[in-house]
């Protein structure tokens, strides 16, 4: 039997329908009771070597690479010019441990399916690497306990080790960074700690920090890349969080507002980056007719098709992406009309087109001749030009 395409989402629906009235009335309370681990966080050994192919859920040489999935009418690119580093969202949904064991079969199976529905958007332009990592349990996001941050720190340590191995494998190719939910959190921190202020920043085509809030004033100034303000702008950050109306983002904002950004300033009340994935620009409104394609799973969730013109989007308030009345996607909606699970799927074809457009702009920019500065060619460019004339 074919593995159910969005099997992980069938688990998430339990959070919104199980328990009937009680869960509807007190969703966060019941989620905490069911999902926050007991006891202290386990002390984890250092990350294993990511030179080992088994440490990757997706990589270009992996047989059955889930990131190569495409819906009917699409195929993976035959010449992947970019290298894509994708950090999958939380797929460890039990409270047994604060961090998922690397060999947990259910967590790995769910992560693999997330890659099909999310990382696949980038396989038209890039070869995708997606690591296994000892992700923090879902319950770590439902509590302010100190162990929750320790669990996230352990997970991030694995992501850093994987990223270092990815950079070695990527060679000199342009890089696309992407993640979702917990993966978006780790990507945000990776930009701040490993990319900002380094030569690597110049190789970034785009960073898709999706399903995780990014403060424009408390985070962005120290993340190494600007917010994307044009649809054809390379070297920038995109971020969005999808909600239907009426939206109640308190599950996200209560924690976000109580935290401190990378600048040391409080995030409380600050505006969040809201990229409209249909237009590729911030704080924009786009009709459903402009949506190139939403992933619609089949009734048995064994596959998915693409359907254009289904979902519009507009940025509103502090930076939420409002999607109006969405098509029937199943019941996997989190409390507050949060369409978090579908952040990529709602706009799959637009994300795919966005990545291609930004890569083309990056390549054109890289191929452009040196600019004149006060009538002169910079010394290094002049020496290169002279060298090329000698070779000719």
The tens digit of pLDDT for each residue in 21-60 reads 333 444 555 555 556 667 677 788 999 999 999 999 999 9
- Mean pLDDT of the region 306-313: 96
Task: Check residue 17 and give its pLDDT.
Answer: 34
Q: According to the model, what pLDDT value does residue 8 have?
A: 37
Residue 374 has pLDDT above 70, yes or no: no
CB neighbours of residue 43 within 10 Å: 7
Give tens-digit pLDDT for 227-259: 999 999 999 999 999 999 999 998 889 889 999
**Average pLDDT of the residues in 347-366:** 97
Per DSSP, the residues of 268-322 read TTPPBP-EETTTTEET-EE-GGG---EEEE-TTSS-EEEESS---EEEETTTEEE
Question: Would you say the pTM of this structure is higher than 0.85?
Answer: yes
% the chain with pLDDT above 90: 66
- Give the model's confidence band at 148: pLDDT under 50 very low, under 70 low, under 90 confident, else very high: confident
Residue from 6, 34, 186 nearest 109 by CA: 6
pLDDT at position 10 over 70: no
Which of residues 243 and 15 earns the better pLDDT score?
243
325 or 291: which leads in pLDDT? 291
pLDDT one-digit tens code per residue, 87-136: 999 998 776 788 899 999 999 999 998 999 999 999 999 999 999 999 98
pLDDT of 383 strictly over 70: no
Q: What local confidence, expressed as pLDDT, does residue 37 receive?
A: 60
**Domain-by-domain residue ranges, the chain?**
7-391
| 3-state class (DSSP) for residue 226 | coil
pLDDT of residue 36: 65
Which of 200 and 28 is assigned the larger pLDDT?
200
- Rounded CA-CA distance 313/142 in Å is 28
Distance CA 39, CA 213 (A): 29
Q: What is the mean pLDDT of the chain?
A: 85
pLDDT of 351 > 90? The answer is yes
pLDDT reported for residue 145: 65
């Amino acid at each position: 039997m074919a593995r159910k395409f969005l099997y992980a989402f069938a688990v998430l629906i339990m959070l919104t329908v199980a328990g009937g009235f009680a869960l509807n009335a007190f969703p966060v309370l019941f989620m905490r009771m069911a999902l926050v681990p007991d006891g202290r966080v386990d002390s984890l050994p250092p990350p294993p070597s990511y030179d080992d192919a088994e440490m990757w859920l997706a990589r270009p040489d992996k047989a059955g690479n889930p990131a190569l999935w495409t819906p009917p009418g699409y195929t993976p690119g035959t010449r992947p010019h970019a290298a894509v580093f994708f950090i999958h969202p939380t797929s460890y949904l039990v409270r047994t441990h604060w961090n998922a064991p690397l060999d947990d079969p259910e967590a790995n199976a769910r992560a693999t399916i997330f890659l099909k529905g999310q990382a696949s958007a980038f396989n038209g332009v890039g070869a995708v690497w997606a690591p296994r990592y000892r992700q923090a349990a879902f319950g770590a996001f439902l509590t302010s306990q100190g162990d929750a941050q320790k669990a996230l720190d352990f997970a991030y340590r694995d992501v850093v080790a994987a990223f270092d191995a990815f950079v070695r494998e990527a060679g000199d190719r342009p890089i696309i960074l992407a993640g979702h939910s917990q993966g978006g959190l780790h990507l945000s921190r990776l930009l701040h700690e490993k990319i900002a202020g380094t030569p690597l920043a110049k190789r970034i085509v785009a960073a898709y920090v999706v399903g995780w809030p990014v403060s424009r004033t408390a985070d962005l100034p120290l993340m190494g890349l600007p917010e994307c303000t044009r649809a054809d702008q390379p070297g920038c950050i995109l971020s969005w969080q999808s909600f239907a109306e009426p939206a109640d983002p308190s599950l996200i904002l209560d924690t976000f507002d109580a935290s401190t950004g990378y600048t040391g300033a409080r995030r409380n009340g600050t505006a969040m980056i809201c990229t409209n994935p249909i237009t590729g620009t911030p704080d924009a409104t786009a009709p459903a007719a402009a949506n190139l394609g939403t992933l619609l799973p089949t009734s048995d969730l064994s596959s998915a098709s693409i359907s254009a013109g289904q979902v519009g989007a507009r940025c509103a308030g502090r930076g939420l992406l409002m999607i109006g009345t969405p098509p029937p996607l199943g019941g996997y909606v989190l409390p507050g009309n949060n369409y978090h699970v579908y952040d990529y799927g709602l706009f799959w074809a637009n994300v795919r087109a966005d990545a291609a457009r930004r890569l083309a702009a990056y390549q054109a920019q890289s191929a452009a001749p040196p600019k004149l500065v006060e009538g002169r060619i910079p010394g290094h460019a002049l020496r290169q030009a002279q060298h090329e004339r000698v070779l000719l």
